[in-house]
Amino acid sequence: MKNQLVLHKEEYEKLSAICNSLQRGTYAKAVFLIDKDGQLLASSGETQDLDVTSLASLTAGNIAATGGLAELLGEKEFVIQSNEGEHENVNISIVPPRAILLIIFDRRSNLGLVRLRVRSASQEMTKVLEEALQKPEDQGKAAFSDFTDDDIDLIFGENV
């Protein structure tokens, strides 16, 4: 059974900074780091017009499906996938130990630049994720555990 991935504020901030740097360095429209379970971990760029929940879920499903294909072909998994569209392109990379990096880019960038920058960003992300997995779940405070009852009331209304 795999350990639950709990991101604390420190890890979340590090991953967000890596996403920001990668987005700027590749001229990508958006960068997403997704858990293999389909949960968004961090993102950067033009994300406001996207259904991020569906995007994360479909990306994780894509990795699971191609994992089945890889297994049929005798591979452990396909670590990089690229899709080219008329206006948008995507690059999907596995980030060990269990995350997925999705980059959406257009003609402002190119696949070679994306793959080059992903290599070092992925290594940085792997270190942060491994650190997060080594921490006991109750150590420190998870990114969203800092909310007070007043914060919750503000978000959901006072009749919670």
Tell me which residues of the chain have a pLDDT lower than 50. Answer: 1, 140-142, 160
Q: Is 47 helix (H, G, I), strand (E, B) or coil?
A: coil
For position 42, what pLDDT does the model report?
96
Strands (E), the chain: 30-35, 40-45, 80-84, 89-95, 99-105
For position 1, what pLDDT does the model report?
46
What CA–CA distance (Å, rounded) separates 44 from 15?
A: 10
- Of the candidates 89, 94, 83, which has an alpha carbon nearest to the alpha carbon of residue 121? 94
For position 24, what pLDDT does the model report?
96
For position 3, what pLDDT does the model report?
61
| Three-point CA angle 62, 67, 73, nearest 5° | 130
For position 29, what pLDDT does the model report?
96
pLDDT in tens, 76-92: 999 999 999 999 999 99
Q: Would you state the structure tokens that stand for residue 121, as one six-digit string?
A: 């960003």
Parallel, antiparallel or unpaired: strands 80-84 and 30-35? unpaired
For position 132, what pLDDT does the model report?
87
Q: Is 105 helix (H, G, I), strand (E, B) or coil?
A: strand
pLDDT in tens, 24-52: 999 999 999 999 999 999 999 999 889 99
Class of domain 9-156: alpha beta
For position 140, what pLDDT does the model report?
47
Is the N-terminal amide bond of 96 cis, ω within 30° of 0?
Answer: no
Domain ranges of the chain: 9-156
For position 145, what pLDDT does the model report?
55
Phi, psi values for residue 83, rounded to 5°: -130, 130
- Of the candidates 34, 4, 20, which has an alpha carbon nearest to the alpha carbon of residue 135? 4
